[in-house]
């Protein structure tokens, strides 16, 4: 199979028939062998009934329905597990992503050799209350991840099948799939300018709180990716540094009290005393946090699971 198209959806009953027709037309024109996987994220409207109707009419359509709303990350992860195509395309169900982009995305994966290609909605039809925070979010993600993409959260992406089978998307981490893929060893990440269309039906399902949650998720994934298997390297380093600063301050206070200070001031009257005390306490706590994290990490059943790209000389 050439292409698997994974479409997470939540209350999009009006757009689904149009989206299916559009995808099928593009796939037939390119003579692709394909499947469309609709993942219903606990919709409260008739979305699932529409998907069931499409499955009966078209054998290339497959559907998965959650009992309740779990979020886009859960829908994508479930769709990834079910996908079988050599190239996996993800797109939103609200018709703001154009299926006409799929052939070029497919070519960038199969011909140009990219592991992952992310869409870039260079011209957006979103209100300014959404576009400005998005720019800050993308800039922060670029800085922290080292991946130079303009639009991390674009729903229109293309992946090699190996990528989606070797990553796990959870919580609200769908915004950071390129980051997750990079830390899994898939470093050839590209970008393509794609068309952004105005929403035809319904209303957006995301509010401003997603930007706060997005930043917190970025901190979380950065820590887990870099220090998930060695937390002592982070907490232990900071803890040692803080304790060392406090210890030096303590030494200075003692020397000053014994040999320099002639006024007989109490040690507790000095601001430096409290700086030293707080630094040593924080240093000890950080070191203990790293030590506890190391114990948890070493007892994890996944502590020795690594991404293996290829093995040679082992026979059948």
User: In 3-state terms, what secondary structure has residue 116?
Assistant: strand
Bridge partners for 89 per DSSP: 5, 158
**Non-local CB neighbours of 312 within 8 Å, separated by 6+ positions:** none
Q: What is the pLDDT of residue 152?
A: 87
21, pLDDT greater than 70: yes
pLDDT of residue 17: 95
CA quadruple 99, 100, 104, 110: dihedral positive or negative?
positive
> Rounded to whole angstroms, how far apart are CA atoms 57 and 63?
13
Q: Which CATH superfamily is domain 3-227 in?
A: Spore Coat Polysaccharide Biosynthesis Protein SpsA; Chain A (3.90.550.10)
For residue 207, give both structure tokens: 């509010």
Structure pTM? 0.74
Q: Name the average pLDDT for the chain.
A: 85
Domain ranges of the chain: 3-227, 232-298
Q: Is the pLDDT of residue 233 over 70?
A: yes
Range 214-225 average pLDDT: 68
Mapped onto helix, strand or coil, the DSSP state of residue 189 is: strand
Tokens of 179: 């980051």
**Mapping DSSP to helix (H, G, I), strand (E, B) and coil, where does residue 88 land?**
strand
Q: What is the mean pLDDT of residues 19-25?
A: 96
Residue 121 pLDDT: 87
Instruction: List pLDDT tens digits, range 73-92.
Output: 999 999 999 999 999 999 99
């Amino acid at each position: 199979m050439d292409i698997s198209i994974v479409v997470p959806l939540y209350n999009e009953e009006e757009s689904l028939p149009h989206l299916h027709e559009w995808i099928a037309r593009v796939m037939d024109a390119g003579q692709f062998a394909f499947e469309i996987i609709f993942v219903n994220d606990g919709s409260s409207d008739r979305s699932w009934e529409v998907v069931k109707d499409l499955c009966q009419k078209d054998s290339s359509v497959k559907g998965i329905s959650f009992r309740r709303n779990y979020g886009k990350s859960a829908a994508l992860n479930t769709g990834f597990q079910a996908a079988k195509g050599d190239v996996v395309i993800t797109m939103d169900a609200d018709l703001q992503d154009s299926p006409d982009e799929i052939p070029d995305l497919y070519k960038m994966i199969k011909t140009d050799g990219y592991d992952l290609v992310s869409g870039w909605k260079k011209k957006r039809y979103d209100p300014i209350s959404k576009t400005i925070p998005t720019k800050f979010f993308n800039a922060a993600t670029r800085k922290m991840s080292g991946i130079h993409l303009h639009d991390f959260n674009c729903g229109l992406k293309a992946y090699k099948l190996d990528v989606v089978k070797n990553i796990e998307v959870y919580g609200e981490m769908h915004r950071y799939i390129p980051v997750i893929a990079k830390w899994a060893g898939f470093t050839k990440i590209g970008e393509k300018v794609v068309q952004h269309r105005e929403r035809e039906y319904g209303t957006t399902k995301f509010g401003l709180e997603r930007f706060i949650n997005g930043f917190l998720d970025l901190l979380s994934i950065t820590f887990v990716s870099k220090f998930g298997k060695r937390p002592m390297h982070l907490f232990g380093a900071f803890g040692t540094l803080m304790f060392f600063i406090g210890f030096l301050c303590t030494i200075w206070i003692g020397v000053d009290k014994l040999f320099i200070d002639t006024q007989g001031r109490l040690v507790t009257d000095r601001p430096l005393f409290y700086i030293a005390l707080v630094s040593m306490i924080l240093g000890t706590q950080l070191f203990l946090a790293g030590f506890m994290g190391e114990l948890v990490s070493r007892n994890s059943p996944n502590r020795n699971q690594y991404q293996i790209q290829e093995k040679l000389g082992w026979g059948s």
